[in-house]
Amino acid sequence: MKTAVIQFPGSNCDADALHAAKLLLDDSAEFVWHTETDLPEGTELVFLPGGFSYGDHLRSGAIAARSPIMNAVKAHAEAGGYVLGVCNGFQVLTEAGLLPGALSRNRDIHFHCQSVHLRVENNQTAFSRAYTQGQRIEIPIAHGEGNYYASAATIAELEEGGRVVFRYADNPNGSLNDIAGIVNKRGNVLGMMPHPERALESLLGSEDGRGVFESLKAK
């Protein structure tokens, strides 16, 4: 699966994202700078990595969501292409309108960098088929603004539509309904705060993140 990893000023998980894509998806994965207006030909997956795009100025992901490349990312998603946003990438997706809701300051106003346990709530998406329904997995987080919130109507729509893909087993940030990762209505855009690309090899403490990429490869 040919992958484009988008780089914004302040991205700091881009190398991890590229490593994950090359290791588990396709060695042709490449970086795309945010000022570009087109994705590389044949791109199947767009990966928006974690970090602090534009220093989190205004709001996390707010400026990155308006970068030139995002028009191409939106067109890619609208055409059915896959988009994965992790941590700051999730924030960018909400700011760009590709996913509903928003990410606010953690409940305790502290930055959290730790491993957390997630429950796979829906294993019938392109990003989760390699897992079993209800599987408990361990994946690291590193964020200060991972508290997911949305209107009551939006939360109900996400729950009823099976669009909550990952849920915190022990909520570290105050996210409504323990939400850790969601998909859009079409199921081709996933945003999640935990970092699956940091849980690919046992040397790092967990291989539980591999399922996200293995699911995409086997789609």
Catalytic center residues? 87, 195, 197
> Which token pair is 165?
């893909």
Asked if 97 contacts 191 with a C-beta cutoff of 8 angstroms, the reply is no
- Pick from 191, 190, 83, 208: nearest CA to 146: 191
Tell me, rounded to whole angstroms, the distance of Cα 9 from its chain centroid: 18
CB neighbour class for 203 (10 Å; exposed up to 12, middle 13-18, buried from 19): exposed
- Pick from 175, 156, 45: nearest CA to 118: 175
Asked if 5 contacts 50 with a C-beta cutoff of 8 angstroms, the reply is no
DSSP letter (8 states) at residue 53: G
Residue with tokens 């996200």: 212
Beta-bridge partner residues of 118: 137, 168
In the chain, the amino acid numbered 98 is L
Pairing verdict, β 164-168 and 112-120: antiparallel
Backbone angles phi, psi at 113, to 5 degrees: -130, 100
